[in-house]
Structure 1
Amino acid sequence: MRTALVLLLLLALAAVPGSLVPQEGRQPAQAADFRRRYPDLAPVLDGLGFFDVYASPWFAAVYLLLFVSLAGCIVPRTRQYVRTLRSRPPAAPSRLDRLPQHAARTASADRDQALRAAADLLRRRRFRVVVDLEGNGSVAAEKGYLREAGNLVFHAALFGLLIALAVGSLFGTTGQKLVLEGDSFTNTLTQYDDFTPGTLASAGSLKPFGFRLKGFSATYQRGGPQRGTASSFVARLSYTEREGGRARDARVEVNKPLEVDGSKVFLVGHGYAPVVTVRDGKGEVAWRGPAAFLPQDGNLTSVGVVKAPDALDRKGKRDGLGFTGLFLPTVQLTKNGWLSSFPATDDPVLVLTAHHGDLGMDSGRPQNVYQLDSSRMTQFRDADGSPFARALRPGDRMKLPGGAGSLTFDGVKQWASFQIARNPSNATALWSSVAMGLGLCASLFVRRRRVWVRVEPMLGGRVRIVVAGLDPGGTERTAGEVVELADELRDRFPALRATTPDVNVPEPLEEQK
């Protein structure tokens, strides 16, 4: 057990780097940024496996050793517990009146009859009872075996929880998807913005469901110290459990996911997507639609790009257009620049600057759809040589210098970001946690205790009934139980004449003080 506790502590310590260092599998962008900011430290952490802690050999070694240690703890203790259940309660000591918790009563009864009555009373109190009618005669009783059973259940459930976590890590999948209002998602690998499969999971394990974001709504506090704080986020979905299946409506809220065929769809974020129309130098529509902008603060000041790689210049040559800037749901111009003062679209403004040239989208290298690679582009400039930038409200149009084209701000849509997670061991983990709680309660609150009764013959047909108890905790409850049992036996067999009972019961703490 000591080894298992040490390994459990080591496992907790081993998980600390996973919360301090961005993990490649789940936070690739943050991990790349960490490498750029700490070029000297990153190779050392990479060699130690800190960028993928939970798949590192040393973490797996601690995990497996904990498995072995728990198995080595549970198996022998279970055998010992079974042997204890099969054994008889220990025989009564020769001098019960030497035990700290004992009581004696005098009654008129047959010895064997008194012993059988004592055994009957103890069985009603759920004791395991053994009656010895030979020799001096005694009753031995014991209860509280549920304490060790709870201890074993706790450790077995912990073992099951570790197995569930391992199965989830091996076969579970997690992915992220940003969905615009009116757009759909199908649970296939190519649809994900970011996908993290388990070690042994594959794209073939994805369940064939899909959904469409019918609408998204958010409400915010309008006044008081909590102004701008979100009151609710609601995504209205229409989903199908399989291709060609019947569509059903559902509402997804924070901490209220949609569960479809073992997968859970969580609402994890939202933002705005300005709807724009880009025309090139020939006056043709080079790109039209919503462009998702990513929030940067609590008031949803958002950054984003608009790309029109197939735009043509006035001579008909390909000259891609790229726009980058801010979307402000409620505009506020401060000395620090453009900001949003409220997350709702009370006064939306789109602030953009423009580039033209090669966007690099045909280079074969992967690009971030939310960033503009301007390394091979030229920024438009005003007549005075300053960077070209304009602030647009819905319906406004921005004309590019030299007749290179234009951009029209048509309106605003919303988007919602979802996490789609599937863990085949969720039920096992849940019931293991419940069993751990029940086992821990039993091991903490159930007391192991023993009770003995001896009946000693006296003159005149009387007997002296001695009841004694032993409780490792030495609680007053056991002392009271001993007295209650002695009184019940006396009531069954009244004494021939008044006698002074011999009782030794610890005084309550308050009286001792």
Structure 2
Amino acid sequence: MRTALVLLFLLALAALPGALLPQRSLNSQKVDEYIASHGWWGELLGRLEFYNVYGSVWFSAVYLLLFISLVGCLLPRTFEYAKSLRAKPVLTPRNLARLPHHHETTVDATPEQVMAAAKERLKGWRMTEREEDDGARSISAERGYLRETGNLLFHFAMLGLIVALAIGKMFQYEGQVIVLANGSQFCNSGTLGYDSFRPGLRVDGTDLNPFCVKVNDFTANYLPTGQADYFRADIDYQSGADLETNTWRPYQLEVNSPLRTAGDRVYLLSHGYAPTFTVTFPDGQTRTHTTQWRPVNQLTYLSEGATKFDPPGVTDPAERRKRQLAVTGLFAPTAVFSGDLMDSGFPDLRDPAVAVDVMRGDLGSDSGRGQSIYEVSQDMVDQGRLKRVARENMRPGDVITLDDGTKISFDGVQRWVYLQVSHDPAQGWVLVFAVLLVLGLGTSLVIKRRRLWVRTVPAAEGGGTVLLLGGLARTDQAGYGEEFGRVTEDLLAELAPSPEREDAVAGREP
């Protein structure tokens, strides 16, 4: 048990870097920034796996050793406990007066009457009656065996919790995706449908639970101060047999009220806005894109982003890279202007507007490097291959005309929702073991192991019986003195003289 406690302390200590340092599984960019700002020290922490604490060799080693230690601790204790349940209570001590709680008196009753009264009062106790060598009779009684049961339950529940968490880490997955609230759909058919995806150790993304979600509308209600009151997404979903019959079932998805289907949970995490722009090219062809922009201010939902367009009908790659367009800048759901500078004064759509820069040239989409959908490549700008050709503040319906006749209109804005899909096959067992852990801990703290002995000896003179009582708490003695006193008082009250008992002791007919 000491080893298990030491390992549990080490596990808690080993988890501290995971809370204090950025982790690659959560934010790889933060890790790179931390390493760059701390030089050799940051690189050393990386080699020691401090940016992947919960998947590191040393954390897993402590975790495994704790598991082995708990098993090695619990098995012998369980066998010993099973043996003690079958064994009889211990013999009555020779001198009960040495115990912390004891009482001795002479009662006007026969030893048989005293023993019968004692057994009646000690119902519910495990007890054994014995005949002693000197003619005395005694009862050994014990109570509080559930304390050890709770103790074992607590540790077995901890063991089960460790196993359930380990299984969850192996077979769980978690993904996030942004879906426009205009009837757009998301299907859990593979990792390519997600914006970000974190698989478990045994998940490769090819065998996900199939289901589909269609986001019809999104409602956000705000207090006059701008604080969010509630978010609600009206969705339809289908899973199981519904996928074959193309049956959609309605559901109102709210924060902390996930959709549970196909063994997965779909959470509503956040929302935002997606401006719609239409580009009319000089040849009359049009392209309309609605792209999500990310909030940069969570209070007012001032958002930034970039909506990118390829020129239609251009087959020459070099020429196409010269004529790509990007509308980038800021979006305000409730625009507030200070001169030409725009900000947002409220998170809801009261007076939407955008402050945009129109960029033309090579967006770098063919460079082979990944790009953020929220911004243009700064490298292309620095190299002069992507240039700004217009800057305007726009409200819905406004149009910008470029020098080559291209027209860009701001058509309006749609909402998007940020969904998270979580799958953990062991979550039910985690809950069960957590509840058992609390129950076991409470039982072991509340119930006390205690022993009580009753010895009766025929009085040498005057008749009656010498009654000796002794009590001992197996663990903490606090509170046992009151219980011992109650047992003694009840027993003496039961044996108090009465006319019937006096006649029986004297051998007279009542």
TM-score (norm 2): 0.89
Contact 1:3/1:69, CA 8 A, preserved across alignment: yes
Instruction: Specify the alignment match of 1:116 in structure 2.
Output: 116
Instruction: Specify the alignment match of 2:403 in structure 1.
Output: 401
Alpha-carbon distance in 2 for matches of 1:379, 1:484: 92
**Alignment partner of 1:467 out of 460, 466, 469:** 469
**TM-aligned CA deviation for residue 89 of structure 1:** 1.5
**Alignment partner of 1:380 out of 370, 381, 388:** 388
Instruction: Specify the alignment match of 1:102 in structure 2.
Output: 102
Alpha-carbon distance in 1 for matches of 2:378, 2:498: 109
Contact 1:91/1:140, CA 8 A, preserved across alignment: yes
Instruction: Specify the alignment match of 2:227 in structure 1.
Output: 229
Contact 1:105/1:490, CA 8 A, preserved across alignment: no
Would the alpha carbon gap of residues 28 and 336 (structure 1) be closer, same or farther in structure 2, given more than 3 Å must change? farther
Instruction: Specify the alignment match of 1:428 in structure 2.
Output: 429
51-60 vs 330-339, greater mean Cα deviation:
330-339
SS at match of 1:307: strand
Q: Which amino acid aligns with 1:378?
A: L
Alpha-carbon distance in 1 for matches of 2:411, 2:33: 35
The alignment-based identity, stated in percent, is 37
Q: Deviations over 1:95-127 (max 9, x none)?
A: 22333322344333221332233123212xx21
**TM-aligned CA deviation for residue 409 of structure 1:** 0.9
After TM superposition, list the pairs within 5 Å mapping 1:318-397 onto structure 2.
318=320, 319-334=323-338, 337-376=341-380, 377-381=385-389, 388-397=390-399
Contact 1:172/1:423, CA 8 A, preserved across alignment: yes
Q: Which amino acid aligns with 2:215?
A: L
Instruction: Specify the alignment match of 1:296 in structure 2.
Output: 296
Contact 1:355/1:374, CA 8 A, preserved across alignment: no
Would the alpha carbon gap of residues 29 and 267 (structure 1) be closer, same or farther in structure 2, given more than 3 Å must change? farther
Any unmatched runs of 5+ in structure 1? 382-387, 498-513
Contact 2:363/2:386, CA 8 A, preserved across alignment: no
Q: Which amino acid aligns with 2:139?
A: V
After TM superposition, list the pairs within 5 Å mapping 1:33-44 onto structure 2.
33-38=33-38, 40-44=40-44
Would the alpha carbon gap of residues 483 and 36 (structure 1) be closer, same or farther in structure 2, given more than 3 Å must change? closer
**TM-aligned CA deviation for residue 407 of structure 1:** 1.4
CA-based RMSD:
2.3
SS at match of 2:206: helix
Q: Do residues 455 (structure 1) and 460 (structure 2) align?
A: no
Alpha-carbon distance in 2 for matches of 1:296, 1:338: 14
Instruction: Specify the alignment match of 2:502 in structure 1.
Output: none
Q: Deviations over 1:225-250 (max 9, x none)?
A: xx111110111110001323521111
Would the alpha carbon gap of residues 11 and 483 (structure 1) be closer, same or farther in structure 2, given more than 3 Å must change? closer
**TM-aligned CA deviation for residue 41 of structure 1:** 4.2
Would the alpha carbon gap of residues 359 and 312 (structure 1) be closer, same or farther in structure 2, given more than 3 Å must change? farther
Instruction: Specify the alignment match of 1:439 in structure 2.
Output: 440
Q: Which amino acid aligns with 1:464?
A: V
Q: Which amino acid aligns with 1:439?
A: G
TM-score (norm 1): 0.88
**Alignment partner of 1:486 out of 478, 488, 496:** 488
Alpha-carbon distance in 2 for matches of 1:129, 1:337: 87
Alpha-carbon distance in 1 for matches of 2:238, 2:325: 38
Contact 1:165/1:429, CA 8 A, preserved across alignment: yes
Any unmatched runs of 5+ in structure 2? 500-510
110-119 vs 445-454, greater mean Cα deviation:
110-119
Residue-pair matches, total: 481
Alpha-carbon distance in 1 for matches of 2:164, 2:103: 52
Q: Which amino acid aligns with 1:486?
A: T
Contact 2:289/2:307, CA 8 A, preserved across alignment: no
Contact 1:105/1:487, CA 8 A, preserved across alignment: no
Alpha-carbon distance in 2 for matches of 1:39, 1:294: 31
Q: Which amino acid aligns with 2:445?
A: L
**TM-aligned CA deviation for residue 402 of structure 1:** 3.6
Q: Which amino acid aligns with 1:213?
A: V
